[in-house]
Amino acid sequence: MKISFTLNGKEVTVESPPYARFIHILRERFGLLGTKEGCLQGKCGFCFIFLNAELVPACMLPVFSAFRGNVTTIEGFRSTPEFSDIEKGFLQAGANPCGFCSSAKILTTHKLLEENPSPSEAQIRKALSGIICRCTSYSCLVEGVKAAALNRRQRDHGSR
């Protein structure tokens, strides 16, 4: 089956069995290795991508679901000012996600701030709960998201 979609701003077409996992299409056909393969069961969050502005686990997505859709991976998001706000915020707070979970944490933070520019600590913790990480401090990460939110508000409005 030929499946066309927009990937990080470019029109692409792949030939694939319709039920192939989208994560494998991204990594193997397009070399987009920032989307990480973890549990392959929709539980760890490491493979999060945006499909039509929704945050979804690419491991659970059959490739046909992307037909005519708009897909953004961490590689596409990296060039945006919102990425810079988050990257800077994480650095400011000393939150230092590993290479395995950083794309998931960054994209999840973006989704949260799109919906809620000033999230509370509880809202941040809830948003991040879809990512399994037992190796780093969630307090630092929460502070990182708060700093990212502030960076974004300052850039958007010049306000605190």
Contact residues for ligand FES, defined by CB under 6 A: 37-40, 42-47, 57, 59, 97-98, 100-101, 133, 135-136
CB of 138 to ligand FES, least distance (A): 10
* Among 34, 84, 133, CA closest to 142: 133
Rounded to an integer, what distance in angstroms lies between the CA atom of residue 36 and that of residue 107?
Answer: 13
Q: Which is nearer to ligand FES, 40 or 153 (CB)?
A: 40
Q: Which is nearer to ligand FES, 12 or 140 (CB)?
A: 140
CB of 113 to ligand FES, least distance (A): 20
CB of 124 to ligand FES, least distance (A): 16
Q: Which is nearer to ligand FES, 111 or 153 (CB)?
A: 111
Q: Could you give phi then psi for residue 118, rounded to 5 degrees? A: -130, 70
Q: Which residue type does 33 have? A: L
CB of 36 to ligand FES, least distance (A): 7
Task: Tell me the H-state helices in 3-42.
Answer: 22-24
Rounded to an integer, what distance in angstroms lies between the CA atom of residue 118 and that of residue 152?
Answer: 10
Q: Which residue type does 54 have? A: E
Q: Which is nearer to ligand FES, 28 or 156 (CB)?
A: 28
